[in-house]
Amino acid sequence: MTVQTWTYILVGITFALYIGIAIWSRAGSTKEFYVAGGGVSPLANGMATAADWMSAASFISMAGIIAFAGYDGSVYLMGWTGGYVLLALLLAPYLRKFGKFTVPDFIGDRYYSNTARIVAVICALLVSFTYVAGQMRGVGLVFSRFLEVDINTGVIIGMIIVLFYAVLGGMKGITYTQVAQYCILIFAFMVPAIFISIQMTGNPIPQIGMGSTLNDGSGTFLLDKLDGLSTELGFNEYTDGSKSMTDIFAITLALMVGTAGLPHVIVRFFTVKRVKDARKSAGWALLLIAILYTTAPAVAVFARTNMINTVSNQPYADMPKWFSTWEKTELIAFDDKNGDGKIQYVADAKLNELTVDREIMVLANPEIANLPAWVIALVAAGSLAAALSTAAGLLLVISSSISHDLIKKVLKPDISEKGELWAARGAATVAVVIAGYFGIDPPGFVAAVVALAFGLAAASFFPAIVLGIFYKKMNKEGAIAGMVVGIVLMLFYMLKFKFGIFDGGKEAVAGLAKDWWFGISPEGFGTVAMIVNFIVAIVVMQFTPPPPQNVQDIVEDIRIPSGAGEATGH
Per-domain boundaries in the chain: 3-561
- The CATH number that domain 3-561 falls under is 1.20.1730.10
Per the CB < 8 A criterion, the answer to whether 32 and 170 are in contact is yes
DSSP letter, residue 546: P
pLDDT at 403: 79
pLDDT at 34: 57
Task: Work out the average pLDDT over 476-497.
Answer: 90
Whole-angstrom distance, CA of residue 552 vs CA of residue 474: 9
Per-residue model confidence as pLDDT tens digits over 542-558 = 999 999 998 888 888 87
Which helix (H) or strand (E) segment is 409 a member of? none
From 145-154, 227-236, 240-249, 295-304, the region with the lowest mean pLDDT? 145-154
State the chain's mean pLDDT as an integer. Answer: 80
Whole-angstrom distance, CA of residue 376 vs CA of residue 133: 25
542 burial via Cβ count (<10 Å: 0-12, 13-18, 19+): exposed
Whether the predicted pLDDT of 541 surpasses 90: yes
Whether the predicted pLDDT of 568 surpasses 70: no
Whole-angstrom distance, CA of residue 346 vs CA of residue 515: 27
* pLDDT band at residue 564 under the 50/70/90 scheme: very low
Count of alpha carbons within 13 Å of 449, Cβ hemisphere only? 26
Handedness of CA 491, 494, 499, 501 (dihedral sign): positive
From 218-222, 264-268, 464-468, 471-475, the region with the lowest mean pLDDT? 264-268
From 86-95, 169-178, 291-300, the region with the lowest mean pLDDT? 169-178
Q: Mean pLDDT: which of 18-32, 408-422, 506-520, 539-553 is highest?
A: 539-553
Per-residue model confidence as pLDDT tens digits over 141-172 = 777 777 777 777 878 887 777 777 666 656 66
Instruction: Give the predicted TM-score (pTM) of the model.
Output: 0.81
122 burial via Cβ count (<10 Å: 0-12, 13-18, 19+): middle
Whole-angstrom distance, CA of residue 499 vs CA of residue 139: 23
Encoded amino acid at 332, one letter: I
* pLDDT band at residue 178 under the 50/70/90 scheme: confident
**Cα angle: 170, vertex 173, 179; to 5 degrees:** 130
The phi and psi torsions of 172 (rounded to 5 degrees) equal -65, -50
Per-residue model confidence as pLDDT tens digits over 293-326 = 889 899 999 988 888 888 888 888 888 888 888 8
pLDDT at 569: 44
pLDDT at 567: 40
Per-residue model confidence as pLDDT tens digits over 96-136 = 777 766 778 888 888 988 888 888 888 888 887 777 777 77
Q: Is 522 left (phi over 0), alpha (psi -120 to 50) or beta?
A: alpha
> What dihedral do alpha carbons 177, 178, 182, 188 form, nearest 10°?
60
Per-residue model confidence as pLDDT tens digits over 258-291 = 887 777 777 777 777 777 777 788 888 888 888 8
In 46-112 the beta strands, taken as DSSP E runs, fall at none
Per-residue model confidence as pLDDT tens digits over 12-54 = 888 888 778 777 766 555 655 655 555 677 888 888 888 877 7
Per-residue model confidence as pLDDT tens digits over 331-369 = 788 888 888 888 888 888 788 888 887 778 888 888 888
CB within 8 A of 425, min separation 6: which ones? 167, 399
* pLDDT band at residue 512 under the 50/70/90 scheme: low
